[in-house]
Chains A and B, each alone.
Chain A
Amino acid sequence: MKTSYREAMRTAIREAMLRDDRVFLMGEDVGHYGGCYAVSLGLLEEFGPERIRDTPLSESGFVGAGIGAALGGMRPIVEIMTVNFSLLALDQIINNAATLSHMSGGQFSVPIVIRMTTGAGRQLAAQHSHSLEGWYAHIPGLRIVAPATLADARGMLWTALEDPDPVLLFEHGTLYNVQGELDDDAGPVDIATAAVRRPGDQVSLITYGGTLPTALDAADRLAAEGIEAEVLDLRSLRPLDDAALAATVGKTHRAVVVDEGWRSGSLSAEISARITENLFYDLDAPVGRVCSAEVPMPYARHLELAALPTADRVVAAVHEVVHAGG
């Protein structure tokens, strides 16, 4: 079946609503508007306003209400328009959702799924474009996932809803229109392991979400010049799949992390550190990184492109690590 990332996500929500009447969707413009990115288009008509619940512009209020509803036995899907807006709900996400299980000595759990759009590439400038999922991956008590493929867009939501703990699901804004084939019976997928999207044996490109297509593009170009890159899609940013990192770096002995987040104090820094700590003697070269330039995202197209990880920059980074060392 030909479908898009957006439609796959919508199908996932719809199916979860049909499977479990405790599931409901809540967020800004999810109902009458049809979803800021049209993910929930048509769901209000199908499920009604109790279960497709438009909220006021009160991120902390409705995220906290989702947490309370989860404590009260519901299975809420809370949509936040963009990761930048989620900063208005940080108190609820970090002080409540992430802590309640531990702080209560395991008496309570918070089975909430919070979906949000992340990333740049659409000239939305510095308040709608940042990739802050790495920040959230810093927080114990949260699970962070980033579906990058149609199958994951279709399959991660149900698994996330079945998880007893809060799951934040990051959808890169440039992926919604990606088209492809998906089996009609495509089902749930796990939310804990990484996946090799392209096998190779000379260098590992470690990435997730919106930069997966970038890494795959770079890998094609590298193949044309005789460098076989393996592309690892992390899928889960917390927990990180250490076994998958070990497997790919153990095979290729060289790694480049491609992450749209900033470099300083980042997820890419964590991945690089883990490789260095755990796999130092497997490495033939220092770990490379391709990240966003350390600026608030600019509006002008040429500046935005200059700030983002591109296939050109990935190829250049691979050249450096391939030509370094032995």
Chain B
Amino acid sequence: MTHQTTDRTTAALPGIDPAHRELALHLLHQMLRVRRLEETCVELYSASKIRGFLHVQIGEEAVAAGVMSALGPEDAVVATYREHGHALLRGVPAGAILAEMYGKQEGCCRGRGGSMHLFDAGTRFFGGNAIVAGGLPVAVGLALADRMQGRDRVTACFFGDGAVAEGEFHESLNLAALWQLPVLFCCENNLYAMGTSLTLTESQTDLALKAAGYEIPAWGVDGMDALAVAEASRRAVDAVRSGGGPHFLEMRTFRFRAHSMFDPERYRDKAEVAQWVERDPIDTLRAHLGLPDDEWAALRTDVDAELQQAVAFAEAGTDEPVEELTRWVYSERGAR
């Protein structure tokens, strides 16, 4: 992952190490890209440009930004149905993501996947899985393939706290630990499985402890602090890549918006949400950096321009001919 930064990074503040500032600015930029993408999705959903289920990760941006900053291009990513930001930060263009949600053939899956099923072979982004915990066994298999073929790649697998209750979670952690496979398990613990609190679903709510029960090194991380996530991810990815077996990060975060566009949020207090919003990962990092207003405005202008172009790309998208409906049910590449 390259740290894309603008020329503005040269204006280092006194007391902040330039490398640290570069990483922090990178993370801030990436989180802002996710935030604006998600806000755009919500607007487009309200305008009926996007249909189906839509799950946005506003509030959780530090997780994807931090983990992605630690991965290389040969690594693989498996994510959930709340994955627009993961796809974006993995390198899928915002235009291809929005066009996918528009159901257009210019979308990253030609309009066959939609919001919950973004895939991109070019960036080794393996979904977009809308079955809770369904991606974990696949991530284990991707890592198994790397191990059997002698490649030092890492597979990062994202899932929420809800996945921890699924059998596939336990089967996958056991397999990965048993076979010492290069998987980074990234638990995005936002405290609610849709509308049910972790305390109502888990006998043990310390999720890192569960992973430790499988002999997997597991750390709890402040998921609202992008620098903390990036640092923990870098250490974990280094360990996984150098043969240390699977690692597990429990990133404690919070989704500021509803679960989906159909959620009246009866299950949590406004006060609880407000408390977490005070810890907004973007505001926090911006304050940490002491970013001057003009630099912040310039960053926003950059990101807004990216999103405007993306919306224009999606708007210009075309419908795939209905005659192609049944393509790709079976592979068109033939025997290999």
> Which residues of A come within 8 Å of B, CB atoms?
22, 24, 50, 55-56, 58, 60-74, 76, 91-92, 95-96, 100-109, 111, 140-141, 143, 162-165
Contact = CB atoms under 8 A, between A and B. Distances in A.
B19 interface: no
A60 B171 CA distance: 8
A68 B138 CA distance: 4
A28 to B, nearest CB: 12
A96 B138 contact: yes
A91 B131 CA distance: 8
B335 A68 contact: no
Contact of A109 (B117, B128, B149, B331): B331
Contacts of B144: 65, 68-69, 72, 74
Contact of B110 (A69, A91, A105): A105
A101 B121 contact: no
Contacts of A163: 335
Interface residues of B, number: 49
B332 interface: yes
B190 to A, nearest CB: 23
Contacts of A104: 109, 112-113, 117, 119, 121, 127, 328
23 contacts: A56-B178, A65-B138, A65-B140, A68-B141, A68-B155, A69-B145, A74-B144, A76-B141, A91-B134, A95-B131, A100-B119, A102-B112, A103-B127, A104-B112, A105-B108, A105-B119, A106-B328, A106-B332, A107-B109, A108-B126, A140-B329, A143-B330, A162-B335
Contacts of A164: 330-331, 333-336
Contacts of A50: 148
Nearest to A110: B331
Contacts of B126: 68, 71, 108
B171 A61 contact: yes
Interface of B: 76, 107-113, 117, 119-121, 126-129, 131, 134, 136-146, 148-149, 155, 167-168, 171-172, 174-175, 178, 327-336
A80 to B, nearest CB: 14
Nearest to A24: B148
B134 A68 contact: no
B119 to A, nearest CB: 4
B322 to A, nearest CB: 15
Given A63-B137, A74-B149, A96-B134, A58 B109 contact: no
B142 A72 contact: yes
Given A91-B134, A101-B328, 15 more contacts: A60-B167, A60-B171, A65-B138, A65-B141, A65-B144, A66-B141, A72-B141, A72-B145, A74-B148, A91-B168, A101-B331, A104-B112, A104-B121, A107-B109, A141-B330
B332 A67 contact: no
A53 to B, nearest CB: 8
A111 B328 CA distance: 14
Contacts of A62: 137, 171, 175
Given A56-B171, A107-B120, A162-B336, A68 B145 contact: yes
A76 B140 CA distance: 14
A78 B178 CA distance: 18
B330 A165 contact: yes
A95 B134 contact: yes
B334 to A, nearest CB: 7
A58 B176 CA distance: 12
Contact of A64 (B117, B141, B330): B141
Contacts of B120: 107
Contact of A101 (B145, B149, B178, B330): B330
A102 B329 CA distance: 5
A172 B180 CA distance: 35
B327 A106 contact: yes
Given A56-B171, A74-B145, A104-B121, A61 B131 contact: no
> Which of the listed residues B142, B167, B333 has the most CB atoms from chain A within 10 Å of its own CB?
B142
A243 B188 CA distance: 52
A67 B334 contact: no
Contacts of B178: 56
Nearest to A72: B145
8 cross-chain pairs, A with B, having the tightest CB-CB distances, nearest first: A68-B141, A64-B137, A72-B145, A61-B171, A105-B110, A104-B119, A58-B171, A65-B141
Contacts of B333: 109, 164
Contact of B113 (A60, A63, A66, A105): A105
A107 B117 CA distance: 12
Contact of A105 (B109, B139, B140, B336): B109
A1 to B, nearest CB: 28
A99 B171 CA distance: 22
A64 B331 contact: no
> Which of the listed residues B174, B330, B335 has the most CB atoms from chain A within 10 Å of its own CB?
B330
A299 B107 CA distance: 54
A62 B137 CA distance: 7
A143 B330 CA distance: 9
A180 to B, nearest CB: 29
B141 A106 contact: no
A66 B143 CA distance: 11
Contact of B328 (A71, A91, A102): A102
B331 A106 contact: yes
A68 B143 contact: yes
B336 A58 contact: no
A74 B142 CA distance: 9
A164 to B, nearest CB: 4
A71 B149 CA distance: 13
A65 B108 CA distance: 25
B172 A69 contact: no
A61 B129 CA distance: 15
